[in-house]
Structure 1
Amino acid sequence: MSEKTKARKAALAEKLVELAERQIQLGGLASLKARPLAQDAGCAVGAIYNVYDDMTALVLQVNGRTFQRLGAAVTKAVETARQDTPTQRLIAMSHAYLHFASENTNLWRALFDVEMSADGPVPQWYLDALGGLFSNIAEPLSEIFPDMHEHELDLMTRALFSSVHGIVLLGLERRISGVPDDQIEKMIGQVLTQIG
């Protein structure tokens, strides 16, 4: 493949990610369709599959960008609360997670709605991004539970993430089991305060 062809392919790959991100942001993951995407990109439908194996591979690229932005928001909250207690840091990062999800709901939902499982082929960079998010949670938990074994700490980290994620999801979807938007932060705080 010539350098010119490689550059053209890389430019199309980036353009497709940007367009797919915009489509997901506006209409959710279900709105992302190959034909309209190709039309927006000014290419044939087949050109998408010359760049990405399938639409899931494209969505993973969009999700990678979303993970970076989410990670930056959580990291900023952690840095701002660096002098606070471990529990207060957990609450701060949980609130940052909520605000990111609230402001970027469709992109945030795509992180979890894409079809893949832990035992399937998941790119290492995707696992690393998720691991980075979990490490932010694990750090204050290890201070609260200094004698907890690594395996138990990992399980507690995932349980805590799942709890906060569930509260945020139910609240943002306005499910009957959730709480009103203005009470989500309070609910997260009540749950996390019980840990430490």
Structure 2
Amino acid sequence: MPDRNYRNKLKANTLLVAKRIVENEGLGALQARRIAQEAGCSVGTIYNLYDGLDDLIIRVNSGTLEDLGAKLSGLEQSATGSLADNLTAMALAYLQLALDSQTAWRAVFEHQLAKDKTVPDWYREHQATLFSIVEKKLAHVVTDDQQRKMAARALFAAVHGIVSIALDQKLGDFDYAATQAQVKFIVQSAAKGLVEQPMQSNASTSGYAADVSEPDAN
């Protein structure tokens, strides 16, 4: 039991060290040797505790998704407004998280798995849980389960695209007010369209994206 407790504490500590490095310096600064040095263990220990550096990075990114999930769940539980209001609040919360935690947020999308690795099922399930928060808001205007999954992912892709372009300053200097306005426009337009013309159950939903990050190498 003492050995197991020590292992669990060491595993938690290495995760905290990795998270701190990513938050302060970005994914590019994360190296096994540095993690080991700051955690007070050997490089070999890192690979005994985790299934390689990819596994550790995915767990760091999972923490970022948990932060987002907590924000969205809080909004979902307290929501009393229209569909447009509720979806807009979630989208703006996403913008704020990306702005407040840029390096950690970027790491979720920058990480590329090694060629022989696949995204673990538990991480896919974590992503699906996040999308389910949005899907609940769409339930009364998108009654088909598969269409609702597609709609939630399409909304995310639109908002994420706006946020990414803005923070990367691809179209000019970052302007918070302008980015907010763009997010509101795309989300409220989509919500208005769904309310006025709910999606029919015979619409095609094949090929929708199943995840928000951690693409497989192939």
Q: TM-score, normalised by structure 2?
A: 0.80
Q: Bigger shift: 170-179 or 129-138? A: 170-179
Deviation at 1:55, TM superposition (A): 0.5
The answer on whether the counterparts of 1:170 and 1:177 sit within 8 Å (CA) in structure 2 is: no
Identity between Structure 1 and Structure 2 (%): 30
The answer on whether the counterparts of 1:78 and 1:92 sit within 8 Å (CA) in structure 2 is: no
Aligned ranges 1:20-169 → 2 under 5 Å: 20-80=18-78, 82-116=79-113, 121-146=118-143, 149-169=144-164
Give the whole-Å Cα distance in 2 for the aligned partners of 1:11 and 1:76. Answer: 30
Deviation at 1:179, TM superposition (A): 6.1
Q: Bigger shift: 169-178 or 47-56? A: 169-178
For each residue in 1:19-59, what CA deviation from the matched residue of structure 2 results, as whole angstroms up to 9, or x when unmatched?
Answer: 00000001111110111111101111111111011101011
Deviation at 1:141, TM superposition (A): 2.1
What letter matches 2:28 in structure 1? A
Hey, what does 1:193 align to over in structure 2?
188
The structure with more helix, counted as a fraction of residues: 1
Deviation at 1:67, TM superposition (A): 1.4
Aligned ranges 1:10-25 → 2 under 5 Å: 10-25=8-23
Give the whole-Å Cα distance in 1 for the aligned partners of 2:14 and 2:40. Answer: 10
Structure 1, unmatched stretches of 5+, are none
Give the whole-Å Cα distance in 1 for the aligned partners of 2:49 and 2:179. Answer: 41
For each residue in 1:165-189, what CA deviation from the matched residue of structure 2 results, as whole angstroms up to 9, or x when unmatched?
Answer: 1111111111117862221111111
Give the CA RMSD over aligned residues.
1.8
Paired residue total? 189
Hey, what does 2:215 align to over in structure 1?
none
| Structure with more relative contact order (C-alpha pairs < 8 Å, separation 6 or more) | 2
What letter matches 2:123 in structure 1? Y
Q: TM-score, normalised by structure 1?
A: 0.89
Misfit runs of 4+, over 3 Å? none
Structure 2, unmatched stretches of 5+, are 193-218
What letter matches 2:134 in structure 1? I
